[in-house]
Amino acid sequence: MQHDSAGYWKATLSLLFKVLVIWFLVSFGAGILFADLLNGIHLGGYPLGFWFAQQGSIYVFIALIFWYAKKMGDLDREFDVHED
């Protein structure tokens, strides 16, 4: 194969790792493991840990997917493996 497929895959995995770290931190981190701690802080009428668990993590998930899709698009072009 003439493309640098190993390089492309490595770059893909490193992006995956970044996304997964954030994914884990907002849901399992802020929403579950550190929820009690964060509940000391308030966001309007929301205790912060409760907010992450029932609202915040979902917003972050959406942003993550679009950010990932955009970054992957950039990678596709950089390594010249994009479609059409």
Partner 1 sequence: MELQTTIYLVVGLSFALYIGIAIWARAGSTSEFYAAGGSVHPVTNGMATAADWMSAASFISMAGLISSMGYGGALFLMGWTGGYVLLAMLLAPYLRKFGKFTVPQFIGDRFYSKSASTVAVLCLLTASITYIIGQMTGVGVAFSRFLGVSSDTGIYVGMAIVFAYAVFGGMKGITYTQVAQYIVLILAYTIPAIFISLQLTGNPLPQLGLGGTYSGSDVSLLQKLDQVVTDLGFGQYTTTTAGSTLNMFMYTLSLMIGTAGLPHVIMRFFTVPRVKDARSSAGWALVFIALLYTTAPAVAAMAKLNLHGTVNTAVTSGGDLYAPEASLRYEERPDWMKRWEQTGLLKFEDKNGDGRIQYYNDKTANADAKAKASAAGWNGNELTVNPDIIVLANPEIALLPNWVIALVAAGGLAAALSTAAGLLMAISAAVSHDLVKGVFAPGISEKGELLTGKIAMAVAIVISGWLGLNPPGFAAGTVALAFGIAASSLFPAIMMGIFSTKMNKEGAIVGMLAGLFVTLFYVFAHKGLFFVKGTEYVDLIGGPNSFFGITPEAFGAVGALVNFVVAFAVDKVTKEPPVHIQAMVEAVRIPRGAKAIDGAH
Of 27, 38, 40, 74, which one interacts with partner 1 (CB under 8 A)? Answer: 27
Taking CB under 8 A as the rule, which mask of x and - marks residues 54-73 in contact with partner 1? xx-xxx-xx-xxx-xx--xx
Residue 40's SS3 state is coil
* Minimum CB distance to partner 1, residue 40 (Å): 12
Q: At what angle do helices 5-24 and 57-78 cross, to 10 degrees?
A: 170
Binding status of residue 28 toward partner 1 by CB under 8 A: yes
Place of tokens 């550190």: 34
Of 7, 14, 21, 36, which one interacts with partner 1 (CB under 8 A)? Answer: 36
Q: Are 76 and 82 in contact (CB under 8 A)?
A: yes
